[in-house]
Homo-oligomer: A and B are copies of this chain.
Amino acid sequence: MLHLCLAVIPSRSRFDALQPRLCQLPSDHDGKHSEFPFLKHLLKSHPAVAKKIVRDSIMTTGAAWKSEEAGPNRILRWVMLLPDETLLEYGINMNNLKPQVVAKLRDKAATYEECIQVAKRLTWTAYQMPGSPEPDAFTKDYLEDHFSTMIPGSTSCLICLEPLPFTLFSGAARGKAAIETGHMNPRHHDATNVGFVHRECNIAQGNKTLQEFYDWIAAILERANKI
């Protein structure tokens, strides 16, 4: 099991005083600290995919949250763990938001450690998609040490269980990415619970757990088959 450096990386965001960002390189590394060394290789060949993995891992989503009333559009997930009073000091007034927006933001909350683990897991998953690039030796070893041996081409959509081709990252339907990050339980953002999914599958699952979704569609089919 790899020992990580975990040195504090100098501040980049106003929230770093609350939760420092940590170096994820092996403890015996040379050179500069790095928070996402497992994405360095992908960032070169497929920058949009690497950036999406970082974004989905550490930021809340915020569809249509563009007005001030609607709340921050995207915010660091661990910031959403802070109490209202602390957020107010950072200029985020949760009392100004509709209760359902607050609930949605709070649902997306996760610790820094959970977010980093999700980023690693998604990267490991991406490299196992049909048609994915091959990881370099460092990345392969690093990710396999964290999880298990990669099986090229083995990644399926977490929801519909169909193979999920890497090329879908670049495909776009109606201006939106065809692949999204999904959650078996939409209210838990951790590495055991995430995976890539088709956009249409993610939309269909909504805020149900995967089991609730399967139960729901089974009940629909049962009623539909009676007719």
Contact = CB atoms under 8 A, between A and B. Distances in A.
Interface string A171-191: 001110000000000000000
A39 B224 CA distance: 31
Interface residues of A, number: 25
Contact of A217 (B162, B173, B221): B221
A64 interface: yes
A227 B4 CA distance: 35
A174 B221 CA distance: 27
Given A64-B64, A206-B200, A224 B175 contact: no
A221 B100 CA distance: 31
A194 interface: no
A69 to B, nearest CB: 11
Interface of A: 64, 98, 100, 104, 159-162, 173-175, 200, 203-204, 206, 214, 216-221, 223-224, 227
Given A204-B204, A214-B221, 4 more contacts: A64-B64, A98-B175, A161-B220, A162-B223
